Amino acid sequence: MKNLPEINHCSPNPKAYWCPDCKAHNTFDIVVKKTRNGTTWLYNCKACGFSSMFCPGETLPWKNGLFVFVGLAFVVAVPLGLILLSNGEHLNDSLAANLVHVLVGFGTFFGLLAWMMAHYLKKWSAWSSAQRRKSPEDLGQEALDHPFQPEYENSTEFTRWAEQFLTSEEVEQLHEKYGESEGGEKTAARIVLRVDEESRPPPPGPGE
Ligand SMILES: [Zn+2]
């Protein structure tokens, strides 16, 4: 099946996972990755396999929070480091010096992470504001012309994807509509079986 008219993957939705390479809310494979710090879910774009699909609405507060943390870390670390140096202390032997090292280390790591998030969010903002200037008809045509078309499948991942745009009832209707051929066949098969059983002649009673 090609193109689901119910969901336009080219219409910007900050609550939906977006692929910065394909510039669309493509369907995805969810990969569960177990790390030492817990479990991470990766959303791999079905079109290009890019594993950093992200949800702009969720990433934005993280990026802002990280920038605040990084700012605070350097606000504490830089003056503290300068005080230690001006007192003639080496930056590797006191508790305060260790604190400077830890703050600079974490600040740099999270700073890079925040920078990366900002980079992708900038791509998102440029795309979403350009899309918002287009008419619904143009967006509809763009979705049809997009090289990747989300396709219906009876899977948890598809349901998770569709629920980003539709209510659970609407997703249910989507399953009924597109999953019909498979479900319909099963229902028909069950009916045939039941009819077969009922149409079987009853076993002869005793004495017949
Ligand atoms: Zn992609």
> Which of 90 and 53 is assigned the larger pLDDT?
53
pLDDT band at 184 (very low <50, low <70, confident <90, very high): very low
- Give residue 27 CA to ligand 1 midpoint distance, Å: 9
Where residue 86 falls among pLDDT bands split at 50, 70, 90? confident
Over range 166-174, report the average pLDDT.
93
What pLDDT sits at residue 132? 96
pLDDT for the residue 39: 86
Beta-carbon contacts of residue 40 (< 8 Å; ≥ 6 apart): 32, 33
Of all residues in the chain, the percent with pLDDT exceeding 70 is 83
- For ligand 1, the distance from its centroid to the CA atom of residue 45, given in whole angstroms, is 5
Does residue 7 surpass a pLDDT of 90?
Answer: yes
CB 60 within 8 A of CB 121: yes
Examine the pLDDT at 185 and tell me if it is beyond 50: no
Residues whose CB is under 5 A from ligand 1 (ion)? Answer: 19, 21-22, 45, 47-48, 50
**For residues 22 and 190, which has the higher predicted lDDT (pLDDT)?**
22
Q: How far is the CA of 162 from the centre of ligand 1 (A)?
A: 17
Structure tokens at 80: 């503290």
Handedness of CA 124, 130, 8, 166 (dihedral sign): positive
Expressed in angstroms and rounded, the spacing between residue 81 Cα and the centre of ligand 1 is: 44
Q: Given CA atoms 35, 40, 44, 50 in this order, what sign does their dihedral have?
A: negative
Least confident window among 9-13, 78-82, 181-185: 181-185
Task: Give me the pLDDT at residue 60, please.
Answer: 92
23-49: pLDDT as tens digits? 999 999 999 888 888 888 899 999 998
- List, for residues 89-147, the tens digit of each pLDDT value: 766 678 888 888 899 999 999 999 999 999 999 999 999 999 999 999 999 999 999 99
In angstroms, the CA 155 to CA 160 distance is: 9
> Cα dihedral sign for 171, 176, 181, 185?
positive
Say what the pTM is. 0.76
Per the model's pLDDT, the better-predicted residue between 207 and 21 turns out to be 21
**20 Cβ contact partners less than 8 Å away, ≥ 6 residues apart:** 50, 52, 53, 54, 120, 123, 124
